[in-house]
Amino acid sequence: MPSQDTKLKILITTDLFTTETNGVVTSVKNLFDELTANGHDVRILTISDNLHSHKEGAVYYIRSIPLKAVYPNLRMPVSYRHRLIQEIIDWKPDVVHSQCEFFSFQFAARISRITGAPIVHTYHTLYEQYLTSYVVPSKRLGEFLAKVISRNRLKRVKTLVAPTQKVENTLQSYGMRAPISVVPSGISLEQHHKRLTHQQRLEKRRELGIADTDQVLLNLGRLGGEKNLGELMNLFAQARQYNENLKFLIVGDGPARLALEEQAEELGVAEHVIFTGMVDPGEVQNYYQLGDVFVSASTSETQGLTYIEAAANGLPLLCRQDDCLADVLQEGENGYEYTSAQEFLHAIDAVFHDPKWRDAAAKRSEQIAAAFDKKAFGEAIENIYESVL
């Protein structure tokens, strides 16, 4: 850990800072909190959600326009030489920590070039599935573009941070020259240690139309095509044929919601699927606790903070097999991975027919999540800053 006397000026740049259910936003906020708590002078430079540039405390928002034709909620800044950016240049950060490869990275590159501050970059997103879902029709072309764009964009960064071994392997396959450090993004465990009472849980479930005897599969996060929720909807419909007590609780919102609602109607399970829409971030732990099993079919995650949050709330996990689950899901201990419908259905049957296993899995999930406390995350990032300086 850096010396307690070493206090740095740290600039964090990010395209995203207002989407509360986004993993990048969660990571940035937790990093900001930890670095600030350790006495560093930290500022965030991001993109406004309108045509107005402004400053709120340590956060600088640069005016932007929407690019919905390219990607839902995507915005592009319309100024790279605004007075607020000049204020940051005059402040002279010691290090620039960029969190996104596109628009805000141009802020990071320009400020680094003028001030001489080295760039540390966290690679949060594997773009192949995003490109295939929203931009190009070919998976092979999407993979090629992700490789070329990432390698070209990040060729001048001092060091790269990968949230998981999965991301490190991908970056190495891209031919990145900068050294790579694997640092899992931390979460604020304090919020997820709060527990509803048994009665509170029953009442909240009833408010959503969930009976006391219902068994609830839960997914929480952004509803995007890359999250593969359509697969979960199909699997849920199949599982209902064998277990009529199943409900599917989907917490969050996004561009795929309408298609998912239509799919539920077509499959004849609409009355058993509950969409909550966006929820208050301060209440998110309560929604996790309304479920009995956390389910995911996504293979686009770099780490999957929702998996860790679900585990911290004592939920067993049932997820499509993916390398990012290596440190979060222990097969048979706190959940199961699946690669086929048959495996998914077998896991559902096993989970709900063994209450003792569910209790043990809940405890194991909490133990695993404890390793992702944001304090360790902050200390690891501090050490990287010291190494590049």
Please report the DSSP string for 126-171 in residue order.
--HHHHHHHT-S-HHHHHHHHHHHHHHHTTT-SEEEESSHHHHHHH
Cα–Cα–Cα angle for 123, 127, 132, rounded to 5 degrees:
175
- What is the percent of the chain where pLDDT is above 70? 93
Is 345 within 8 Å of 321 (Cβ atoms)?
A: no
Both tokens assigned to 201: 């849980």
What is residue 242's DSSP assignment? T
Q: Which residue has the tokens 């020259």?
A: 177
pLDDT at 5 > cutoff 70:
no
- Position 138 scores a pLDDT of 66
Is 351 within 8 Å of 357 (Cβ atoms)?
A: yes
User: Once rounded to an integer, what is the mean pLDDT over residues 272-299?
Assistant: 95
The Cα 336–Cα 330 span in angstroms is 8
What is residue 300's DSSP assignment? -
Cα–Cα–Cα angle for 359, 321, 171, rounded to 5 degrees:
125
User: Once rounded to an integer, what is the mean pLDDT over residues 180-209?
Assistant: 93
The Cα 201–Cα 163 span in angstroms is 33
Residues 17-40: tens digit of each pLDDT: 875 557 788 889 999 999 999 999
Is 59 within 8 Å of 26 (Cβ atoms)?
A: no
pLDDT at 318 > cutoff 90:
yes
User: What is the phi/psi pair of residue 257, to 5°?
Assistant: -60, -45
Both tokens assigned to 156: 């001048």
Burial environment of residue 88 by CB neighbours within 10 A (0 to 12, 13 to 18, 19 or more): buried
Both tokens assigned to 16: 């995203």
- 3-class DSSP assignment, residue 186: coil
- Position 126 scores a pLDDT of 75
- Position 81 scores a pLDDT of 84
Q: Which of 31, 45, 104 is nearest to 74 (CA)?
A: 104
* Kind plus residue range of the DSSP H or E element containing 213: none
The Cα 141–Cα 145 span in angstroms is 6
User: Once rounded to an integer, what is the mean pLDDT over residues 147-167?
Assistant: 89
User: Once rounded to an integer, what is the mean pLDDT over residues 264-274?
Assistant: 98
Burial environment of residue 217 by CB neighbours within 10 A (0 to 12, 13 to 18, 19 or more): buried
Q: Which of 6, 9, 16, 42 is nearest to 125 (CA)?
A: 16
- Position 72 scores a pLDDT of 61
pLDDT at 226 > cutoff 90:
no
What is residue 373's DSSP assignment? B
* Kind plus residue range of the DSSP H or E element containing 117: none
Question: pLDDT class for 108, splitting at 50, 70, 90?
Answer: very high
Question: pLDDT class for 133, splitting at 50, 70, 90?
Answer: low
Question: pLDDT class for 301, splitting at 50, 70, 90?
Answer: confident
- Position 137 scores a pLDDT of 60
User: Once rounded to an integer, what is the mean pLDDT over residues 279-291?
Assistant: 95
User: Once rounded to an integer, what is the mean pLDDT over residues 136-155?
Assistant: 77
Both tokens assigned to 292: 């009995």
User: Once rounded to an integer, what is the mean pLDDT over residues 367-374?
Assistant: 90
Name the pTM for this structure.
0.76
What does the mean pLDDT of the chain come to? 91
Is 284 within 8 Å of 220 (Cβ atoms)?
A: yes
- 3-class DSSP assignment, residue 62: strand
**136 vs 6: which has the higher pLDDT:** 6
- The set of residues, in sequence order, having a beta carbon less than 8 Å from that of 341 and lying 6+ positions away, is 234, 235, 238
The Cα 291–Cα 165 span in angstroms is 29
- Position 1 scores a pLDDT of 45
